[in-house]
Amino acid sequence: MDFSPEEIERYARHIVLADVGGPGQQKLKAARVAIVGLGGLGSPAAQYLAAAGVGALRLIDHDTVSLSNLQRQVIHDTGAVGLPKVESARRALARLNPHVTIESVPERLRSDNAAALLGDADLVLDCTDSFAARILISDQCFYARKPLVTAAVGQFDASITTLKPYASAADGTPNPTWRCLFPEAPPDGLLPSCAEAGILGALVGVIGAMQALEAIKEIVGIGEGLVGRLLLYDARSARFETVAYRWDPDNPLNGRKAAAE
C-alpha cells in the first residue's frame, strides 16, 4: 500500500518510530474501525485514530449535539449544536485528515443491525454510556470474532479493557468475555446517568485517548494489550490500578455449557 508524499510527511513521526515504521503505518491505513458512540469517549478516540491514519472509520450514534455535551465532547463545537453527532464528527475528522474514509451512521446500535454495522470492522471501540449497549456490543464482537476496546466513565473514575474472547490465553483457556467481568446487569436505577451525577470533562479525554492507543497497538501488533486486564483510573487521586480477570467457565458465550451445545 503506497503513501503519497503528503501522507509520508503527515505520518513521519510514526514511520520513524521503530515499533511502527512503514509496515505499521500501512496496517493502520488498511484498517477499518467501528466506533459506537460519538460522545465523551468517542470524541478523542475518533480524533486520534483519524490523526494516526486509520484508513476507514465508521461512526455510529443516533444522538444530536446539545450545548451540555460541549463540556467534554471535544469533537463538536458550538456551531454543531442540533446536528447529528456523527455528522458533526465526520466534518471535524475530514478537516483533521482528508486521507481517512469516514462513514457516518445516525442510528442507535440494536440487536437487528449490530451484525451489519460491526461485522466488517477489523476492530470495534465501545464508547457508549449504558450497560445494555456494552453487553450488545461485546456479544456481537464475540460472535463476529472482532477485538473490542471498551471503556466506562463516571464522575471521577474510569475503566478500560480489551476483549478477544474468541481467542485463547497462553494457558489454553479462552480469553474472558465482558460477561466474565459482569455476569448480570445492575438493577435499573442503580447507576446514575451522566446528567444525574455529573462527570469531569477532561476524564473522558484521558480514557478516550487510551482507547485509541489500545486500538492502534492492536492494529499494528505492538506492546501488551489489556486482554484479561481491567485498567482502573481514579482522577481525584491520579492513580491507575490494573486488575487481572479470567475466563469464567459459567459465562454463556464461551463457557463450558456453551461449548457443549
pLDDT tens-digit map of 158-194? 999 999 999 998 888 999 999 999 887 776 665 666 6
* pLDDT of the residue at 260: 59
Side chain identity, residue 254:
N
> What's the CA gap between 84 and 154, in Å, rounded?
24
Query: Quick one: residue 82, left, alpha or beta (phi over 0 = left, psi -120 to 50 = alpha)?
Result: left
Label residue 68 by pLDDT band (50, 70, 90): very high
d(CA 181, CA 120): 26
Name the β-bridge partners of 216.
none
pLDDT for res 182:
87
| Mean of per-residue pLDDT scores for the chain | 93
Residue 197: the pLDDT is 78
Total-model pTM: 0.94
**Active-site residues: which are they?**
194
CA distances from 113 to 109, 116, 127, 136, 165 (A): 6, 5, 17, 11, 21
Q: In the structure, what pLDDT confidence band is assigned to residue 141 with cuts at 50, 70 and 90?
A: very high
Per-residue pLDDT at 2 exceeds 90? no
Q: State pLDDT tens for residues 77-136.
A: 999 999 999 999 999 999 999 999 999 999 999 999 999 999 999 999 999 988 889 999
pLDDT tens digits, residue range 144-160?
999 999 999 988 999 99
123 torsion bin: left (phi>0), alpha (psi -120 to 50), beta (else): beta
As a three-state string, the secondary structure of 39-84 is: CCCHHHHHHHHHHHCCCEEEEECCCECCHHHHHCCCCCCHHHCCCE
Tell me which residue of 45, 205, 68 sits closest to 125, measured CA to CA: 45
The reported pLDDT for the residue numbered 257 is: 77
Q: Check whether 221 has a pLDDT greater than 70.
A: yes
pLDDT value at position 244?
95
